[in-house]
Amino acid sequence: MYKILFLKKQIIVTAILVMLFSHQLIAQDTLRVDIATALEIALSENPTIKIANREIDRVDYTRKEAISGFFPTLSAGANYNRNIKKPVIFLPPGSPFGTVLEIGSDNSYAANLTASIPIFSATLFKSVQVSEVDIQIALESARASKLNMISEVKKAFYTLLLANNSYEVMKLSVENANKNLENIRKLYQQGIVAEYDVIRSDVQVRNLNPALVQAENSVRLSSLMLKVLLGVDENVEIDPIGNLTDYETDFLNFKPLAEVPLETNTNLRQIELQQTRLTKQYELLKTTRIPTLAAFGNYQYQSQANDFNFSNYEWVSTLSAGLQLQIPIFQGFAKRHREQQVLVGIDQLKLQYDYINRNLTLQVRNSITNMMIAAEQISSSKVGIEQAEKGYSIAQTRYNTGSGTILELNDAAVSLTQSKLNYNQALYEYLKAKVEFETIIGNDQLLK
């Protein structure tokens, strides 16, 4: 069932990729993707995911190998034997043939066909059960890889949105600073303002330019990280669809959880499956004390002669069948020691489970706390932007009418820029905390 679902997803992703590269790769080789498309591409093309899926195939073949133990085995063989000195038998004294009698011929030929089938073997049944648990472990491991990939892609996508938003804020800030500089130069030429105001405005522009370059570099690095996760060539530009502000409604619907849901955490589920496997392995070791019963059959076709005149050979066939019962009695306490090793491993996993469970509970609560803090910062920053925009407008009016100073205008511009950056950062911190929360609890809605 898992493979069928995965195949369907592969078909969907292939269709998406065809659409993307036929319609979204424009003249400048720019790939426009939203977060859903980015996740689909990553889950289909990332090498880590492909390796995890191949591991499922490998373990499935191991299970099939265990099941094949229930089928009959059939083997054939042939041999030729040249008796340089023939075998002998010893006869009692007084025999008319002497005390030593040679038997057989110079040449002997034999062909055989052997078949066997297990009738009762508890070990085989338990081996199949162990291999079935291995399949579940491989599936959960693949799920863990996909959850981690979803987390990494989401964070990279949100980081790119943050970088783009920050760049736009800084770009607008530089544009406003340049407009103010031009306006102040005109006022200076008219003798309305002092040269000091021109110098302060020019310094303001020059101070903002390095921040703009840094913001542009952040966009480049964030884009490169997303390209790596998506497996996109570095020469292809990525244009993310959307904006951080598109996720404003996300935090408005946020409600703190009373309980920490860890039932679907992939780390805990893997430990549980490993405990199940060791339990099955312990049961498997116990079955090695139980007798096994198998049926066998043997067909042989043979001939002997002193010459190589094959046309005169007389061929004889024989057929035999029977049952084979094996009863384990004593192996020097080796089985007991192997059983104890498995029991110790089970105890270790129990301790590991409790330790990880405590740590995950702390991580979940920390993520929830970070989401709450970020939500408060978003609300505060949004009001801060409104106030800063109002303050900047007032500062411009005051300066243009001669009642304000250049310091007030610059301070208002800096406050507006910082308010916008704080707002974007708060949105990003909320989304990042949410991604971490979903990864910890094992939210796999995107995998279904």
Q: Residue 159 is encoded by which pair of tokens? A: 């980081």
Give strand pairing partners of 110.
79, 302
> How far apart, in whole angstroms, are the C-alpha atoms of residue 179 and residue 54?
59
Count of all residues that appear for the chain in the document: 448
Q: How open is the CA angle 114-116-121, to the nearest 5 degrees?
A: 160
**pLDDT value, residue 277:** 95
**pLDDT value, residue 92:** 85
pLDDT, tens digit (0-9, with 9 covering 90-100), for 299-339? 999 999 988 888 888 999 999 999 999 999 888 888 899 99
Are residues 109 and 307 in contact, defined by beta-carbon separation less than 8 angstroms?
A: no
Taking each helix axis from N to C terminus, what angle separates 334-400 and 266-287, rounded to the nearest 10 degrees? 170
**pLDDT value, residue 235:** 86
- CATH for 2-71+120-290+330-447 is 1.20.1600.10
> How far apart, in whole angstroms, are the C-alpha atoms of residue 136 and residue 269?
10
pLDDT, tens digit (0-9, with 9 covering 90-100), for 263-311? 889 999 999 999 999 999 999 999 989 999 999 999 999 999 988 888 8
Instruction: Please report, for residues 158, 161, 243, 423, 427, the alpha-carbon distance to residue 246 in angstroms, rounded to integers and kept in the order given.
Output: 11, 11, 5, 13, 10
DSSP conformation class of 438 = H
The segments of the chain whose pLDDT lies below 70 read: 1-28, 251-254, 256-258, 444-448
**pLDDT value, residue 23:** 43
Q: Let me know how many helices (H) and strands (E) the chain has, helices first.
A: 9, 8
SS3 state at 58? helix
**pLDDT value, residue 444:** 66
Full DSSP string of 280-302? HHHHHHHHTTS-EEEEEEEEEEE
Residues 6+ apart with CB under 8 A from 12: 40
Best CA proximity match to 216, nearest among 166, 182, 277: 166
**pLDDT value, residue 111:** 96
Taking each helix axis from N to C terminus, what angle separates 2-19 and 47-67, rounded to the nearest 10 degrees? 150
> How far apart, in whole angstroms, are the C-alpha atoms of residue 37 and residue 310?
75
User: What is the distance of C-alpha 93 from the center of its chain?
Assistant: 82
Amino acid occupying residue 102: E
- Strands (E) located in 45-106: 73-82, 88-90, 100-102
